[in-house]
């Protein structure tokens, strides 16, 4: 219905470091941005306990608390922050037409996509129970907390291999659990893993249960897929590195996506193949996936959106 149509100069889809930073910059540029937070307001950092590598927080900060700071800063400058999910977009006409689950239809002059990527999980009930209490989807984010401890990581690709070697520099021992008898990672990464003394391969095995108590994870039960035998590994950290899935489903057929379904942006920019549509954060970055790089790209997207609007006005 026409009374539900809103006109907006800058619409931001998704929150987290990229979305909120874009909102801060867009609001300060007087673009009066509206941001729809998505199904997980604050993004993946809301399932992270302590963040110690983001500048400006010398004592560290809990992920959810940090995202609340970002949100409040965006609101301070006039961002309209909305709890809700964008359900449909039409980016092939101008202004762009966007529908949300609150019943609103928005006509947007620019759109910044910051929907992020979701870590793939094993689907274990115990994995969910100990999320943030020893279970993590990011070794570079959380590995620091497990210095001189024994940990386990699941996966066999390049990401798992990279994270295993990263953890090996911090931890006493790293069990790398893989369901096959050889890694899928590149030869160079395989060589690195297999020649790191404190990485122990657990071949032909899958995790059956993450073990722990009120203090967090204290082990993982694995089953050998060939023999059916199970054994418990004593670990305090359990890392899942079986990939990420970018949240790009509603943009399929409109935006250019790569083979892994990440949004393709022009090198050195956040510009997509559609003028006026920008992508920031993990939805277009499968290399770094850090809060600081997401925030930086959110800043870029807002500046580029402002310049785009200036040039067409």
Look at domain 2-118+244-312 and name its CATH class: alpha beta
Q: Does domain 121-240 have CATH number 3.50.50.60?
A: yes
DSSP summary character for residue 263: B
What pLDDT, on a 0 to 100 scale, did the predictor assign at position 53? 86
Domain boundaries, the chain: 2-118+244-312, 121-240
Are the C-beta atoms of residues 133 and 217 closer than 8 Å to each other? yes
Structure tokens at 229: 């035998």
Tokens of 289: 């996936």
Annotated catalytic residues are: 138, 141-142
- In 3D space, the residue among 241, 16, 17, 235 whose CA is nearest the CA of residue 133 turns out to be 235
Q: What is the CA radius of gyration of the chain?
A: 21
pLDDT, tens digit (0-9, with 9 covering 90-100), for 273-285? 999 999 999 999 9
Residue 63's pLDDT is what? Answer: 86
- Among 103, 25, 7, residue whose Cα is nearest residue 278: 25
Query: What tokens does 270 get?
Result: 């956040």
2-118+244-312 and 121-240: identical CATH topology: yes
> Could you tell me the two tokens for 188?
């160079």
Question: Can you tell me the distance from the alpha carbon of 61 to that of 32, in angstroms, rounded to the nearest whole number?
Answer: 29
- Determine the 3-state secondary structure of 75 from DSSP: helix
The reported pLDDT for the residue numbered 49 is: 64
Looking at residue 258, the DSSP 8-state letter turns out to be -
Contact 116, 219 (CB under 8 A): no
How far apart, in whole angstroms, are the C-alpha atoms of residue 155 and residue 185? 10
Other beta carbons less than 10 A from residue 107's beta carbon: 15
pLDDT of residue 66: 94
User: CB 4: neighbour CB atoms within 10 A?
Assistant: 12
Residues of the chain with pLDDT under 70: 1-4, 47-49, 313
Beta-bridge partners for 237? 151
Helix (H, G, I), strand (E, B) or coil at 40: coil
pLDDT at 309: 97
Q: What is the mean pLDDT of the chain?
A: 94
Grouping H, G, I as helix, E, B as strand and the rest as coil, residue 37 is: coil
pLDDT for res 39: 82
Output the pLDDT for position 52.
83
* 270 contact partners, CB below 8 Å, separation of at least 6: 112, 278, 279, 280, 284, 297, 300, 301, 304
Cα 291 versus chain centre, distance: 9
Which residue's entry shows tokens 């470091």? 17
């Amino acid at each position: 219905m026409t009374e539900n149509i809103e006109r907006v100069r800058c619409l931001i889809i998704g929150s987290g470091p990229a979305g909120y930073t874009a909102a801060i910059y867009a609001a300060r540029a007087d673009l009066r941005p509206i941001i729809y937070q998505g199904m997980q307001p604050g993004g993946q950092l809301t399932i992270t306990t302590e963040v110690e590598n983001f500048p400006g927080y010398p004592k560290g900060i809990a992920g959810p608390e940090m995202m609340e700071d970002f949100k409040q800063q965006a609101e301070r400058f006039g961002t309209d922050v909305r709890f809700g999910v964008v359900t449909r977009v039409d980016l092939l006409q101008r202004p762009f037409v966007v529908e949300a689950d609150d019943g609103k239809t928005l006509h947007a002059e620019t759109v910044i996509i910051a929907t992020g990527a979701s870590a793939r999980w094993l689907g274990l009930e115990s994995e969910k129970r100990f999320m943030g209490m020893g279970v993590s989807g990011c070794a570079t984010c959380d590995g620091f907390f497990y210095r001189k401890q024994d940990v386990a990581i699941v996966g066999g690709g390049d990401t798992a291999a990279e994270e295993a070697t990263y953890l090996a520099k911090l931890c006493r021992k790293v069990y790398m659990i893989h369901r096959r008898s050889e890694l899928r990672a590149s030869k160079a990464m395989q060589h690195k893993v297999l020649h790191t003394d404190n990485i122990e391969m657990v071949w032909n095995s899958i995790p059956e249960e993450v073990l722990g108590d009120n203090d967090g994870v204290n082990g993982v039960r694995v089953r050998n897929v060939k023999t059916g035998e199970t054994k418990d590994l004593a670990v305090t950290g359990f890392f899942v590195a079986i990939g990420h899935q970018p949240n790009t489903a509603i943009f399929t057929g409109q935006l250019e996506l790569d083979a892994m379904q990440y949004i393709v942006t022009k090198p050195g920019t956040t510009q997509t193949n559609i003028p006026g549509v920008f992508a920031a954060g993990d939805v277009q970055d499968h290399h770094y996936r850090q809060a600081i790089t997401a925030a930086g790209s959110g800043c870029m997207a807002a500046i580029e959106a402002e310049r785009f609007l200036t040039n067409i006005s």
